[in-house]
Amino acid sequence: MRRSDEAKRLPELLSPAGSYEALTAAVDAGADAVYLGAKRFSARAYAHNFDMESIERAVHYCRTFGVRCYIALNTLVYEKEMPELVELAADMYRVGADALIMADVGAIRAVRRYVPDMAVHASTQLTVHSTGGLKAAAALGVKRAVLARELSREDIIDCCRAGVFETEMFVHGALCVCYSGQCLFSSIVGGRSGNRGECAQPCRLPYSGGYPLSLRDLSLASHIPELIDIGVDSLKIEGRMKSPEYVYTVTGIYRRLLDERRAADSEESERLRAAFSRGGFTDGYFTGRKYLPMTGIRSERDKEDSRAAVPSRGPERRRRINAELTVRASEPASLIFSDGRRSVTVSGVIPEPAVSSPVDAAGAYARLSKLGGTGYMLSESDFKADIAPGLNLSPATLNAMRRAAVEKLCEVPEEVRTFRAEKYVRPDTAYSSAKTPSLRRTALFLDGDSYFACEQMCRGFFDAVFIPFRYFDRIKDGFTGIYVPPIMFDREEPEVSEALSAAAKNGAKYALVGNIGHISLALRCGLVPVADFRSNITNPETAEYYRGAGARGLILSPELTLPQMRDIGGIPIVYGRLPLMLTERCFIKENFGCAECGKSSLTDRIGKRFPLFREYPHRNLVLNSVPVYMGDRKDELAAYGMPDRGHFIFSVESAKECSKIIDMFIRGAKPDLEVRRIQSKKQKAN
């Protein structure tokens, strides 16, 4: 809920760290928290990222200044990788990371089971965009969710008002044109999975003579007072691929705006633009102005301005400490370091009588104040010495005591450092699959009229067919199910919920859902959920989550190979143009006009056509240029344990074409057009 004037507090300022230098820049500039990626499982695989040693160093550095450190393990995870992920999560807990940012439902489930005290934040890749999504994430054990970037001011207020747990939102940096976690473009077309941290950014390329999919960077610097008032817990700056200078500049400006509780002035806005932009910034999602001016590309002028305007880093931020050295005869020397939060004591050797040059306060201070690179500083006024006369303490001893005191001041509590997770064991999917038998052959018709024109043929081939909820009044029995819109803000849910309930009364049995927040909605409306491919089921842990939540069918991720699908169990997509992107903006209206709805497409540089399809209410799907087809490869499906399983996606096809495809599949006919195949091993896509 909105904070009262009396209770207003500043949200956390969360900054990116793609390298150790960027991390220190963020801390120097005043970040409350930083987020960084490990060498594995990071959604920015091409950032510098951190190995285990540098993560421990980064956590210690952050702790020096009271800055929280979050680790992004936010890719989809395959079954064979799950033991490594659990071990890595345990290491993060051991070194004292404050939270993990995660996107894979199964990975979250495993970490919560094996490292239960490790806090988990739901990445924006989980596509949390509603109260239902927040509640589902909370049930997983998540403590915070990074909201989808497409939410408006009113949608964010709805999520904060729910009071489920902490909310985080992006306020600055690059925008994906597709909802995060729902983009398959780079993976399917280019062989580099955005869900696995390898995005090749096809949205930045030209289509149909322009750059319709390339969005300007986000900046909400002019909305800081509103964001404080709304009650978001954390404001996040994107940029793990950016330079330390960029991180320092942007963090510093937002730090000042938050501390002064005001919007950016023209000079600050210009500094942000010069640091990095794509023809300026946009606040279109936040304000609800989702139209053409959101589009932008990085021009030569932008690049020149960045080179000229980004300043070098300021002085390194260091934390003052107090020190007290005690040197007395016949007892070990003692050194106390205190940073205002903790006080630690280390002992040295017993001093010997001095032969020529006894230790004194000035000499001791010269040794103990050499703290460069530690994040601490010791001023002469903060140093006290109780040194008996005529005693000797070597420089090497003083240096060793200083290093030991710094290490002790930074060290993680012993109970965390010694933690080790049990060996990971995969869930017994065979047992649970037997208990909850699922559908085996299903279809989604994005155009319900095409389905009703070939309904009789469908009833002889499929176990169930799904159509958009707007056709609810034409459903007569349990064979025809409802396709739930994958994105549904709180303000849109009543309309959809009413249609789902009416469909159930008409006899509908199943609902195809693609977001963790929609499972409970389907159940409340009297429908059995089936998990769509948008659920990103890439491992048995995720499959078990959806089965446990009540799903009686699992459409597997099209990023999987046949062996991976076999090991999970579920339904592969065996026909259809895969939806590569799900966008909040209506590119059909912007680029072609409403009269071309259902007939328009984007054409890439080599002439490939990607059809655009309307999604509820005026969102868009960008479909692949070629369909998946496995009708003549049924022997391969059988060899991997899926002889009679398959999910079909019908989109731009007419009813006649749908009937032809079903007939071809039944006959095992070879395709008469270019198609995509499910592979038996990972390889580059065409």
Q: Domain segments of the chain: what residues? A: 12-175+215-277+290-309, 321-417, 429-578+627-667
Q: Which residues in 480-616 belong to E strands, given as ranges?
A: 480-483, 510-513, 528-531, 573-576, 579-583, 601-603, 609-615
pLDDT number for residue 285: 97
In CATH terms, are 12-175+215-277+290-309 and 429-578+627-667 the same topology?
A: yes
- Read off the pLDDT band of 686 (50, 70, 90): very low
Do the beta carbons of residue 35 and residue 14 sit within 8 Å?
yes
Radius of gyration of the chain (CA): 29
pLDDT number for residue 671: 96
Nearest to 554 by CA among 455, 437, 662: 437
pLDDT number for residue 3: 45
The answer to whether the pTM exceeds 0.95 is no
What topology is assigned to 12-175+215-277+290-309 in CATH?
TIM Barrel (3.20.20)
Nearest to 614 by CA among 600, 590, 597, 595: 597
The larger pLDDT score, comparing residue 259 to residue 311, is at 259
Mean pLDDT, residues 88-107 taken together: 96
Q: What is the mean pLDDT of the chain?
A: 93
Close Cβ partners of 462 (under 8 Å, ≥ 6 residues apart): 441, 442, 443, 479, 648
Structure tokens at 685: 């896509």
pLDDT in tens, 37-49: 998 898 777 767 7
pLDDT in tens, 445-495: 999 999 999 999 999 999 999 999 999 999 999 999 999 999 999 999 999
* CA separation for the pair 31, 25 (Å, rounded): 9
- Read off the pLDDT band of 432 (50, 70, 90): low
Residue reference for tokens 């929609």: 518
Q: Is the pLDDT of residue 418 over 80?
A: no
Structure tokens at 266: 């023209």
CATH class of 429-578+627-667: alpha beta
Mean pLDDT, residues 658-677 taken together: 96
Mean pLDDT, residues 361-386 taken together: 92
- Read off the pLDDT band of 420 (50, 70, 90): confident
pLDDT number for residue 367: 95
Q: Strands 628-629, 573-576: parallel, antiparallel or unpaired by DSSP? A: antiparallel
Q: Is the pLDDT of residue 414 over 90?
A: no
Mean pLDDT, residues 375-384 taken together: 92
Do the beta carbons of residue 440 and residue 463 sit within 8 Å?
yes
pLDDT number for residue 407: 87
pLDDT number for residue 685: 43
Nearest to 565 by CA among 585, 542, 586, 599: 542
Provide the phi-psi class of 375: left if phi over 0, else alpha when psi is between -120 and 50, else beta.
left
* CA separation for the pair 185, 651 (Å, rounded): 17
